[in-house]
Amino acid sequence: MTDRNQTLFERAQRVIPGGVNSPVRAFRAVGGTPRFIARAQGPYMWDAEGQRYIDYIGSWGPMILGHGHPAVLEAVQKAALEGFSFGAPTEREIELAEAIIALVPSIEQVRLVSSGTEAGMSAIRLARGATGRSKIIKFEGCYHGHADALLVKAGSGLATFGHPTSAGVPAEVVQHTLVLEYNNLAQIEAAFAAHGADIACVMIEPIAGNMNFVRAQVPFVKRIHELCKQHGALFVFDEVMTGFRVALGSAQSVYAKAIPGFAPDISVFGKVIGGGMPLAAFGTTREIMKHLAPLGPVYQAGTLSGNPVATACGLATLKEIAKPGFYEALAAKTQSLVSGLTQAAQAAGIPFCGDSEGGMFGFFFFDSLPQHYNAVMATDKERFNRFFHGMLDRGVYLAPALYEAGFVSAAHTEADIAATVAAAAEAFADLSKACA
Q: Does residue 310 sit in the same domain as residue 358? A: no
Q: Does residue 257 sit in the same domain as residue 396? A: no
Query: What is the rounded distance in angstroms from the CA atom of residue 384 to the CA atom of residue 419?
Result: 19
Query: What are the residues whose beta carbons fall under 8 Å from the beta carbon of 394, sequence distance 6 or more?
Result: 423, 426, 427
pLDDT digits (tens, 9 = 90+) for 375-419: 998 998 999 999 999 999 999 999 999 989 999 999 999 999 999
Query: What is the rounded distance in angstroms from the CA atom of residue 223 to the CA atom of residue 188?
Result: 9
Query: What is the rounded distance in angstroms from the CA atom of residue 364 to the CA atom of residue 208?
Result: 14
- What angle in degrees, to the nearest 10, is found between the helix axes of 414-435 and 326-347? 20
Please measure the distance between the N-terminal and C-terminal CA atoms of the chain and give it in whole angstroms: 34
pLDDT at 164: 72
With 90 as the cut, is the pLDDT of residue 169 above it? no
Q: 42, 78, 71: which is closest to 322 by C-alpha?
A: 71
Q: Could you say which of 321, 351, 382 is where a domain stops? A: 321
Map residue 210 onto helix, strand or coil.
coil
pLDDT at 159: 38
Could you tell me if residue 50 is inside a domain? no
Average pLDDT, the chain: 95
Domain hosting 28: range is: 1-34
pLDDT at 162: 57
Give percent of the chain with pLDDT exceeding 90. 90
pLDDT at 163: 65
Report H helices in 169-301: 185-195, 218-231, 250-258, 286-289
Query: Mean pLDDT throughout 238-249?
Result: 98
Kindly list the distances between the CA atom of residue 215 and the CA atoms of 149, 199, 209, 360, in Å, as whole numbers in the listed order: 24, 24, 9, 11
Query: What is the rounded distance in angstroms from the CA atom of residue 347 to the CA atom of residue 343?
Result: 6
Q: Does residue 303 sit in the same domain as residue 266? A: yes
Q: 43, 40, 49: which is closest to 7 by C-alpha?
A: 49
From 173-187, 237-251, 331-345, the region with the lowest mean pLDDT: 173-187
Q: Could you say which of 321, 349, 381 is where a domain stops? A: 321
Chain centroid to CA 412: how far?
Answer: 20
With 80 as the cut, is the pLDDT of residue 353 above it? yes
With 60 as the cut, is the pLDDT of residue 155 above it? no
Q: Is 143 a catalytic residue?
A: yes
Query: What is the rounded distance in angstroms from the CA atom of residue 225 to the CA atom of residue 185?
Result: 12
pLDDT digits (tens, 9 = 90+) for 292-351: 999 999 999 999 999 999 999 999 999 999 999 999 999 999 999 999 999 999 999 999
Give percent of the chain with pLDDT exceeding 70. 97
pLDDT at 310: 98
CATH number of domain containing 366: 3.90.1150.10
Query: Mean pLDDT throughout 353-366?
Result: 97
Q: Could you say which of 321, 356, 371 is where a domain stops? A: 321
> Of all helices (H) and strands (E), which one includes residue 40?
strand 37-41
Q: Does residue 173 sit in the same domain as residue 301? A: yes
Residue 266: phi and psi, rounded to 5, are: -130, 140
Q: Do the Cβ atoms of 252 and 106 come closer than 8 Å?
A: yes
Query: Mean pLDDT throughout 51-74?
Result: 98
Query: What is the rounded distance in angstroms from the CA atom of residue 264 to the CA atom of residue 256?
Result: 10
Q: Does residue 274 sit in the same domain as residue 372? A: no
Query: What are the residues whose beta carbons fall under 8 Å from the beta carbon of 244, sequence distance 6 or more?
Result: 64, 103, 250, 269, 272, 273, 318, 321
From 38-42, 159-163, 262-266, the region with the lowest mean pLDDT: 159-163
What's the burial of 3, exposed, middle or buried (CB within 10 Å: 0-12/13-18/19+)? Answer: middle
Q: Is 381 a catalytic residue?
A: no
Kindly list the distances between the CA atom of residue 256 and the CA atoms of 225, 231, 247, 262, 267, in Å, as whole numbers in the listed order: 11, 21, 12, 5, 14
Type of residue numbered 422: A
Q: Does residue 232 sit in the same domain as residue 337? A: no
Which of the four pLDDT bands, split at 50, 70 and 90, describes residue 154? low
| 3-class SS string, 159-196 | CCECEECCCCCCHHHCCCEEEECCCCHHHHHHHHHHHH
Query: Mean pLDDT throughout 49-59?
Result: 97
pLDDT digits (tens, 9 = 90+) for 251-298: 999 999 999 999 999 999 999 999 999 999 999 999 999 999 999 999
The β-bridge relationship of strands 360-364 and 406-407 is antiparallel
Q: Is 271 a catalytic residue?
A: yes
Which of the four pLDDT bands, split at 50, 70 and 90, describes residue 148? confident
pLDDT digits (tens, 9 = 90+) for 423-436: 999 999 999 887 66
Query: What is the rounded distance in angstroms from the CA atom of residue 271 to the CA atom of residue 407?
Result: 12
Per annotation, catalytic residue among 135, 222, 271, 333 = 271
Map residue 407 onto helix, strand or coil.
strand
Q: Does residue 270 sit in the same domain as residue 370? A: no
pLDDT digits (tens, 9 = 90+) for 110-136: 999 999 999 999 999 999 999 999 999
Per annotation, catalytic residue among 44, 53, 56, 143 = 143
Query: What are the residues whose beta carbons fall under 8 Å from the beta carbon of 423, sequence distance 6 or more?
Result: 390, 391, 394, 395, 396
Q: Does residue 328 sit in the same domain as residue 312? A: no
Per annotation, catalytic residue among 47, 238, 265, 416 = 238
Q: Does residue 235 sit in the same domain as residue 350? A: no
pLDDT at 167: 85
Strand order in the sheet with 177-180: 109-113, 280-284, 266-269, 234-239, 199-204, 135-139, 177-180
Could you tell me if residue 172 is inside a domain? yes
What is the per-residue DSSP string for 325-379?
Answer: THHHHHHHHHHHHHHHHHHHHHHTT---EEEEETTEEEEESSSS---SHHHHHTS
Region for residue 250 given its phi and psi (left: phi exceeds 0; alpha: psi -120 to 50; beta: otherwise) = left
Query: What is the rounded distance in angstroms from the CA atom of residue 373 to the CA atom of residue 403?
Result: 9
Q: Does residue 148 sit in the same domain as residue 288? A: yes
pLDDT at 387: 97
Domain count, the chain: 3
Could you tell me if residue 360 is inside a domain? yes
Query: Mean pLDDT throughout 16-26?
Result: 94
